[in-house]
Amino acid sequence: MAVIRDMMPAFELFQPTSVDEALDVLERHDNTWVLAGGLDSMDWFKDRIKRPDVVVELGSVSELTGIRASGDGIEIGAMTSLRDVVASDDVRSRFGLLAQAAAEVATPQIRNQGTLGGNLIQDTRCWYYRGGWPCYRAGGNICYAGTPRSMNREHAVTGQSRCVAVNGADTAGALVALGAQMMVRSAGGERVYEAEDFFVGPEIDIERMTVLEPGDLLTHVRIPGDWADARFYWEKVRDRKSWDWALASVAAAIVESNGTIERARIAVNGVAPTPVRLTDVENLVQGMPANDDTGMAAGELATRGFKPLRHNDYKVPLARNLVRRAVRGDAA
Amino acid sequence: MSDAAITTETATGHSRRTFIKGVIATGAVVSSSSHLFRARSLSASAAVRASMPRMISLNVNGVSRSVDVMPQETLAMTLRYKLGLTGTKLGCDRAECGACTVLIDGVSHYACSLLTNAVRDRSVTSIEGLEGADGTLHPVQQAVIDEGGFQCAFCAPGFIMSMVALTNENPEPTREEAAEALSGNLCRCGDYNKILNSAMRAAEYARRMV
Give the domain range for residue A50.
Answer: 12-59
Q: What is the pLDDT of residues A290-301, one digit of tens each?
A: 999 999 999 999
Mean pLDDT of all residues in B66-80: 96
The Cα B46–Cα B53 span in angstroms is: 11
Q: What is the pLDDT of residues A300-332, one digit of tens each?
A: 999 999 999 999 999 999 999 999 999 998 765
Q: Given an 8 Å threshold on Cβ–Cβ distance, is B45 in contact with A242? A: no
Domain count, chain A: 3
Position A107 scores a pLDDT of 97
Residue B176's SS3 state is helix
Position A331 scores a pLDDT of 62
Run of H or E including A192: strand A189-194
Nearest to A57 among B70, B117, B162 (CB): B117
CB neighbour burial string for A74-95, b if at least 16 within 10 angstroms, e if fewer: bbbbbbbbbbbbbebebbeebb
Residues A242, A207 within the same domain: no
> Taking the model in full, what pTM does it have?
0.89
In a domain, residue A235? The reply is yes
Question: Regarding predicted confidence, which is higher, B61 or B53?
Answer: B61
CATH topology of domain B55-129: Ubiquitin-like (UB roll) (3.10.20)
Residues A77, A208 within the same domain: yes
Residues A317, A274 within the same domain: yes
In a domain, residue A17? The reply is yes
Chain B CB contacts of A7 below 8 Å? 39, 42, 70, 72-73, 77
Q: Given an 8 Å threshold on Cβ–Cβ distance, is B108 in contact with A109? A: yes
CATH superfamily of B139-209: [2Fe-2S]-binding domain (1.10.150.120)
Q: What is the pLDDT of residues A5-56, one digit of tens each?
A: 568 999 999 999 999 999 999 999 999 999 999 999 999 999 999 999 999 9
What interface predicted TM-score (ipTM) does this complex get? 0.94
Alpha carbon of B114: minimum distance to chain A alpha carbons (Å): 7
In a domain, residue A33? The reply is yes
Position A229 scores a pLDDT of 83
Nearest to A112 among B52, B80, B108 (CB): B108
User: CB-based contacts of A124: which residues, under 8 Å, 6+ apart?
Assistant: A130, A137, A165, A166, A167, A168, A209, A273
The Cα B180–Cα B103 span in angstroms is: 17
State the best of A4, A5, A107 to mutate against chain B, taking most chain B CBs within 10 Å.
A107
The Cα B131–Cα A254 span in angstroms is: 52
